[in-house]
Amino acid sequence: MLPQTLTAGPRTRILIAAEQIQQRVRELASQIDADYTQDPLYVVSVLKGAFIFVADLCRALKRPNVRIEFMAISSYGSEKTTSGQVKLTRDLDVNIEGQNVLIVEDIVDSGITLNYLTRLLRQRHPRSLEIVTLLDKPERRIQPVSVKYIGFQIPDEFVVGYGLDYAEDYRNLSDICVLSEAGIR
């Protein structure tokens, strides 16, 4: 029996329910399993928002040599948008030269974070470099990014839950929820 998990409250409405997320994560994982050979796969996850997605995705991959690495990036701006100023706050501690690298992100919004990250990692000459994102808000794109695997395309609404936050709250919701105006301080 799974423990009761926190879900939508008065300030949130469910956009994508937990079961739907889990189903899509399994589909993405089987696509990824099919696309890569049995060489090690370096999964590079961007903290903090992708932490739940990467944990579920990795457990759905049917191969033992998934190497899980973390990076952290901070962007200056209000809590709901990226300013365009991206700064690397935690780098990888492994050499990815000649390796298959898969970046795992929670959401692609303006594209600024991933545009920066892919340019940075490409300079290190991985054998391949692809992106998987759980969510994509295509209407919001400012900078181009080529994302190979997309969980869900969503409208231009601010979402929380399943790792995504608003001012560090709501990351622990099981569903992806839209935050109502009342939830925005």
109 is catalytic: yes
- Binding partner of 110, given Mg ion, ligand IMP, none, CB within 5-8 angstroms per partner class: ligand IMP
Residue found under tokens 């695997």: 149
Residues 6+ apart with CB under 8 A from 168: none
Under a CB-based contact definition with an 8 Å cutoff, are residues 20 and 70 in contact?
no
Q: Of 33, 128, 158, 171, which one interacts with ligand IMP (CB under 6 A)?
A: 158
Selecting among 106, 109, 136, 175, the annotated active-site residue is 109
Q: What angle do CA 142, 111, 25 make, to 5 degrees?
A: 140
**What is the pattern of x (binds Mg ion, CB under 5 A) and - over residues 10-49?**
---------------------------------------x
38-67: contacts with ligand IMP (CB under 6 A): 49
- Binding partner of 163, given ligand IMP, Mg ion, none, CB within 5-8 angstroms per partner class: none
**Separation of alpha carbons 54 and 23, rounded Å:** 14
By CB under 6 A, the count of residues binding ligand IMP is 15
Q: Of 110, 151, 174, 175, which one interacts with ligand IMP (CB under 6 A)?
A: 110
Nearest-approach distance from CB 59 to ligand IMP, in angstroms: 21
Residues 6+ apart with CB under 8 A from 19: none
In the Cβ-directed half-sphere of 159, how many Cα atoms lie within 13 Å?
A: 28
Closer of 66 and 117 to ligand IMP (Cβ): 117
Task: Tell me which H or E stretch contains 118.
Answer: helix 112-122
Residues marked active site are found at 109
| Binding region for Mg ion (CB under 5 A) | 49
